[in-house]
Amino acid sequence: MYAQPRKLILAAGIALALNAVSGMVAAATVSQEVTDARQETQIWTTYALSPYLRALDLKVSVQNGKATLTGTVEEEVNKELAKEIALGVSGITEVDNQIVVKADYMPKPSPEPGYGERIEDASITAAVKSKLLWSRHAEGLATKVETRRGRVTLSGTADSEEARATAGRLAMGTRGVVSVNNQLVVASGKPTAVDSAKSTANETKGEIADSWITTKVKSTFLYSSNVAGTDIDVSTQGGIVTLSGKVHSGAERDLAIELAQNVRGVKSVDAKGLTY
């Protein structure tokens, strides 16, 4: 008399178990799809940021840890680079590299900067602004910095021709800059009594911290395209900056000294330990 209810209970249990398994499978599928999408995005973003691949029309699809690459490049080295970047993404275990190599391939130029170019332009703008802010001429500058495809435009005012020229040199020496359009205008007005008082007050303020100076000198080197910043050791004591290490040429040594001297708060630069 109890056979039928027991069969019903068993059937219900099986149904619940199947639903649970089905739910787990569905959740695992959704999780894998999310992982695939994340990996695709990471690979594509790296391509977009690479100066060697950003202009190329490359496509990426990922399924269960396998990345499939398609598109066209002009050199085998670019195809290999695309593969290595994909393999470098966590969770990618296999790459099906279907990218075609054509020696005469010319990417179609885009009228507007792409994602990678916009990121690089923003980075250049930030670097130039920082270098100008740290400059000993900063208080005399009211500068707007704009960058488009590596071409920097400076606009605003400077209180002297020296400040204007220095701003142009600092911008041109920034990593990634192609050209500089220096539209800074030298303000012709003479300093007022209030300006003179402010200047005197600034000169009598406490000295800028040595640690701040050291950090800004190092950062200036790293942002600069013509100085191997990682090869130069910087220390500061009482506003006197000491540079040591090895550079590639006398011109690079002179530039490193000039960049250090330009940082606000620097009294002098000792570069006897900086050799080439």
Q: Are residues 93 and 172 in the same domain?
A: no
Q: How far is CA 230 from CA 134, 234, 239, 243, in A?
A: 19, 10, 21, 12
Q: Which domain holds residue 189?
A: 115-202
226 assigned to some structural domain: yes
Q: What pLDDT is attached to residue 115? A: 83
23 assigned to some structural domain: no
Over the stretch 14-35, which tens digit does the pLDDT of each residue have?
666 556 555 555 555 668 888 9
User: Given pLDDT bands bounded at 50, 70 and 90, which one contains residue 92?
Assistant: very high
User: Given pLDDT bands bounded at 50, 70 and 90, which one contains residue 104?
Assistant: confident
CATH at residue 63: 3.30.1340.30
Q: Return d(Cα 183, Cα 49) in angstroms, integer.
A: 29
Decide: helix, strand or coil at residue 141: strand
Q: What pLDDT is attached to residue 31? A: 82
Q: What pLDDT is attached to residue 15? A: 60
Most confident listed range (40-54, 181-195, 205-219): 40-54
Task: Please state, as a whole number, how many other Cβ atoms lie within 10 Å of the Cβ of residue 99.
Answer: 18
Q: Are residues 145 and 99 in the same domain?
A: no
Q: Are residues 144 and 219 in the same domain?
A: no
pLDDT score of 170 more than 60: yes
Does the pTM of the predicted model rise above 0.75? no
Q: What pLDDT is attached to residue 17? A: 59
Number of domains making up the chain: 3
Q: Are residues 40 and 70 in the same domain?
A: yes
- Work out the percent of the chain whose per-residue pLDDT is above 70: 82
Q: Give the residues across from 135 on adjacent strands.
A: 263
Sign of CA dihedral 110, 112, 114, 119: positive
266 assigned to some structural domain: yes
